[in-house]
Each structure stands twice: as structure tokens, then as C-alpha cells.
Amino acid sequence: MPMNPPSPAQIELARRLLALEAVAASEDARGLPVASRVYERLHTHLSPLVGVAGVDMLFVRCAKLTRGEFTATVEGTLSQGSTKLRERLHAPEPALALDAAATLFATFFALLTTFIGERLTLEILRRAWPTLDEMPLAQEKK
């Protein structure tokens, strides 16, 4: 059964998380790239629910589904793919466009929603990013 592409709401959600982490990154001395920060926070908050291997598997699958920026990154075994994806997201390169990262995370949300439902997915995201609902929608900022 093919997966539906991420909805506009899931893409907007991914962009919100990237924007929140961009603000946090400017206040943090660790210097992690924004996409890496989102990945790590998602990993931390979802691992207790689906396990480390489960989160890795979901991300590797999403990278393959995006058929672009990340596809070649995750070729090979699950552990190789997960390691390569994590390294790619941690690389301090501006070549990782925020649009590509938003697509990856939106695809992740779509896949996660398929498994655990929209309500639980949003609840987990709100726990990871308590100020998520306070951020205005992209359309409202214009």
C-alpha cells in the first residue's frame, strides 16, 4: 500500500519546527544545524514510544520516500542508513536546504501518523516543542 504524500498541514508543521529550532540555535553555543536539532529532538521524544530502532527505521523509510536530497544517503542496511542520515543532518553545510529538511520531516509526520494516529503524533510534538502552538502560521506572518 503506497503512502500518501505529506499534507500541507504536515509540511507547515515541519517548517514551524525548523523555525523554532532556528531561534533556539541562535541562543545555543553548540552550533548544531537546525535540521539536526529537529532530528535529535524527535529521536529523543519518540524513542521511548517506538524504540531507537523504530525511530531509525521510520527516518530511513522517509528518506527513501522523499526521493531526492536524502535517498542516496540511506542506501544499505538500516544501521548504515540511519548513521549516514544522522551524519548528513549534522553536517554544517548550507547545501541542506530547509525545504528538503521540511519535506523529510513532513514525510516523517505522515508516516508516524499512519502508525500512531494524528492526535498522539501532535501530542508528542507538543511535548517536545511546548511553544509550538504559540508560533503564528506562515500565512499569518505576511
What is the tens place of the pLDDT at every residue in 103-134? 899 999 999 999 889 899 999 999 999 988 77
Give residue-wise pLDDT tens across range 33-51: 888 889 999 999 999 988 9
Three cell numbers written together for 1: 500500500
| Closest among 62, 22, 30 to 46, alpha carbons compared | 62
**pLDDT for 138:** 46
For range 67-96, the mean pLDDT? 67
Ramachandran sector of residue 77 (left: φ over 0; alpha: ψ -120 to 50; beta: rest): beta
pLDDT bin (cut points 50, 70, 90) of residue 137 is: very low
Q: Is the pLDDT of residue 55 over 80?
A: yes
CA–CA dist 106, 83 (Å, integer): 20
- Pairwise pLDDT comparison (9 vs 95), residue with the higher score: 9
3-state per-residue secondary structure call for the chain: CCCCCCCHHHHHHHHHHHHHHHHHHHCCCCCCCHHHHHHHHHHHHHHHHHCHHHHHHHHHHHHHHHCCCCCHHHCCCHHHHHHHHHHHHHCCCCCCCHHHHHHHHHHHHHHHHHHHCHHHHHHHHHHHCCCHHHCCCHHHHC
**pLDDT for 101:** 85
pTM, two decimals, is 0.81
